[in-house]
Amino acid sequence: MQERKGVVTFQGEPLTLLGDEVTVGQAAPDFTVVDKDFKPVKLSEFAGRVVLISAVPSLDTPVCSIQTKRFNEEAAKLAEKITVLTISEDLPFAQGRFCSSEKIEGHQVLSDHVYRQFGQNYGLLIKDMMLLARTVLIVGKDGVISYREIVSEITEEPNYDAALTAAKEISKIK
């Protein structure tokens, strides 16, 4: 498995990412994650839709919580044109508690903990922690990656405005 060093840091310390890097313009690799009931969910199930993927290290941290809440709020505004997914390595039980306590109902929160296919297929699994690098991806209706932001310092938030603008443009929402 490919290792990439220094793409992201944690409090300034370089980390190593596992898996092949994905880039804008390439076909989005399929993956299987699980929902709160451990039911498998595949990216391919959303074929023909614009999908915004928000990857976070752990929902139990302040920045990940903020990011997940923000995309949950935005998911309601994006109507039925865009599917929003949050993916983390948290166990589905912990994700369920988080979603219940924070009233996350506008989008799906999924776990990569069982298969780790998302992290490995997208080169986002942090070897040093076995968590996901903070990332926002947008997959177009054609199944091609049209936007990618890997946040270089995982304790910082992504550029929400850039991601949402890109998602709206791709899905033709005004």
Among 13, 18, 15, smallest CA distance to 2 is for 18
64, 87, 163, 170: which one is catalytic? 64
**pLDDT value of position 60:** 92
Q: Give catalytic status of residue 99 as yes or no.
A: no
CA dist., res. 109 & res. 125, Å (int)? 17
**pLDDT value of position 144:** 97
- Indicate the pTM of the whole model: 0.96
CA dist., res. 172 & res. 40, Å (int)? 30
Q: What is the DSSP letter of 107?
A: S
CATH class name, domain 3-171: alpha beta
CA dist., res. 24 & res. 164, Å (int)? 16
Please report, as a single letter, which amino acid is at residue 69: K
What are the average pLDDT values for consecutive 10-residue runs of the chain, which has 174 residues?
A: 94 96 97 96 96 97 95 85 95 94 92 97 96 98 97 97 94 75
Structure tokens at 16: 């190593």
CA distance readout (Å), 40 to 22, 37, 111, 166: 22, 9, 9, 28
Q: Per-domain residue ranges for the chain?
A: 3-171
Q: Are the C-beta atoms of 117 and 123 separated by less than 8 Å? A: no
| Residue labelled with tokens 């992201």 | 8
